[in-house]
């Protein structure tokens, strides 16, 4: 499977970020740099995001059985939601700490901050390259990729702050860089929570408008009415649809159903469909259900 092939790329990124995160925490404490520590906090969410992505991919690949009729595919969405909430909580903490340090700035070792931040840019470039090779159709993998990409921008901001502190001696540049990092984390966290929330609330996937789908279904000549149309996402890249479709009395409703399934698959990339087709008689006032006999012949009424 494509997502199985993504595991080596995610593992490489995980090991790179985990190793550098430990270095950054130690140096951040020694240099009294909130920007470095906030970068490490963001990197922790990156490590967590990738680790959860790997675990979720393994769980989601298990076949459906028992009461879990879709398997554990939504574990990936749970992972994305957890990463988003963590980003939001960390961003609030870093904002509060940055404001405190703007009022009472500690002494910051600008040169040390700059050296570590530049090294962090290199490590994150390698991690971004590794994760760019993965298939980011999954919200889980895409969320992890966005974490790492945001961390790259954060290291750039930290490097600039380190140079300015080293050059001017004004330690508040470090706290200002931490605010930039917090803003990036807040933006990424809101995006992940929003997108994961759409899946949990069973909203139609982005790019799939239920009204447009209903019009396309109703455009088939034999279709007279489309009721109870639902379009949702089981997990990233797995849209699903259910509907109750009424067809003209003199057509084979099973042929219409197969035609609808083909149209939905080819035009909207929806292959998981549940469509109930019924004949409508007397101006659609009476429903005449379809059935197949043992010879495969369609009957109604």
User: What's the average model confidence in pLDDT over 205-213?
Assistant: 92
**For residue 35, what pLDDT band results from cuts at 50, 70 and 90?**
low
Tell me which residue has tokens 């797995």: 238
Q: pLDDT tens, 39-56? A: 677 677 778 778 877 887
To the nearest whole percent, how much of the chain has pLDDT over 90?
21
To the nearest whole percent, how much of the chain has pLDDT over 70?
87
Radius of gyration over every alpha carbon of the chain, rounded to an integer in angstroms: 26
pLDDT of residue 298: 47
CA dihedral (228, 213, 204, 45) in degrees, to 10, reads 160
Whole-prediction pTM value?
A: 0.73
**Token representation of residue 271:** 């292959």
Look at domain 210-300 and name its CATH class: alpha beta
Q: Angle CA(201)–CA(206)–CA(207) in degrees, nearest 5?
A: 145
**Which residue intervals of the chain bear CATH 3.30.70.1350?**
210-300
* For residue 286, pLDDT beyond 50: no
The CATH architecture of the domain made up of 2-200 is Up-down Bundle (1.20)
pLDDT of residue 285: 41
**Token representation of residue 162:** 């380190």
Please state, in angstroms and rounded to a whole number, the distance separating the CA atoms of residues 199 and 143. 14
Query: For all residues of the chain together, what is the average pLDDT?
Result: 81
- Better pLDDT: 7 or 134: 7
pLDDT of residue 1: 44
For residue 195, the 8-state DSSP code is H
* For residue 238, pLDDT beyond 90: no
What DSSP assignment string belongs to 210-268? HHHHHHHHHTSTTEEEEEEEEEEEEETTEEEEEEEEEE-TTS-HHHHHHHHHHHHHHHH
- Label residue 65 exposed, middle or buried (CB < 10 Å: 0-12, 13-18, 19+): exposed
pLDDT of residue 161: 86
Please state, in angstroms and rounded to a whole number, the distance separating the CA atoms of residues 243 and 229. 4
- Better pLDDT: 239 or 3: 239
pLDDT of residue 84: 83
Residue 15, SS3 per DSSP = helix
Please state, in angstroms and rounded to a whole number, the distance separating the CA atoms of residues 55 and 69. 20
- Label residue 165 exposed, middle or buried (CB < 10 Å: 0-12, 13-18, 19+): buried
pLDDT of residue 42: 67
**Which residue intervals of the chain bear CATH 1.20.1510.10?**
2-200
pLDDT of residue 267: 94
Largest CA distance in the chain: 88
The answer to whether residues 122 and 156 touch, using CB atoms and an 8 Å cutoff, is: no
Q: pLDDT tens, 58-76? A: 777 777 777 777 777 788 7
Residue 133, SS3 per DSSP = coil
């Amino acid at each position: 499977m494509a997502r199985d092939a993504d595991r080596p790329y995610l593992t490489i990124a995980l090991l790179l970020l985990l190793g550098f995160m430990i270095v950054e925490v130690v140096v951040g404490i020694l240099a009294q740099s909130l920007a470095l520590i906030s970068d490490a906090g963001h990197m922790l969410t990156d490590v967590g995001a990738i680790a959860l992505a790997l675990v979720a991919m393994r769980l989601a690949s298990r076949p459906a059985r028992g009461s879990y009729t879709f398997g554990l595919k939504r574990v990936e969405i749970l992972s994305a939601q957890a990463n988003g909430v963590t980003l939001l909580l960390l961003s609030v903490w870093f904002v509060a700490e940055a404001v405190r340090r703007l009022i009472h700035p500690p002494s910051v070792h600008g040169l040390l901050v700059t050296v570590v931040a530049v090294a962090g840019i290199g490590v994150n470039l390698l991690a971004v390259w590794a994760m760019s090779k993965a298939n980011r159709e999954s919200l889980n993998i895409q969320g992890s990729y966005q974490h790492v990409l945001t961390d790259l921008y954060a290291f750039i901001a930290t490097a600039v702050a380190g140079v300015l502190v080293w050059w001017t001696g004004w330690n508040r540049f470090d706290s200002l860089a931490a605010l930039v990092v917090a803003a990036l984390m807040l933006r990424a966290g809101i995006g992940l929570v929003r997108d994961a929330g759409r899946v949990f609330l069973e909203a139609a996937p982005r790019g799939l408008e239920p009204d447009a789908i209903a019009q396309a279904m109703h455009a088939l000549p034999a279709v007279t009415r489309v009721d109870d149309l639902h379009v949702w996402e089981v997990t990233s890249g797995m849209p699903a649809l259910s509907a109750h479709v009424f067809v003209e009395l003199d057509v084979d409703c099973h042929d219409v159903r197969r035609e609808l399934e083909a149209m939905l698959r080819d035009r909207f990339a929806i292959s998981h469909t549940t469509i109930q087709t019924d004949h409508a008689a007397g101006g659609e006032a009476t429903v005449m259900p379809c059935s197949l006999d043992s010879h495969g012949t369609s009957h109604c009424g």
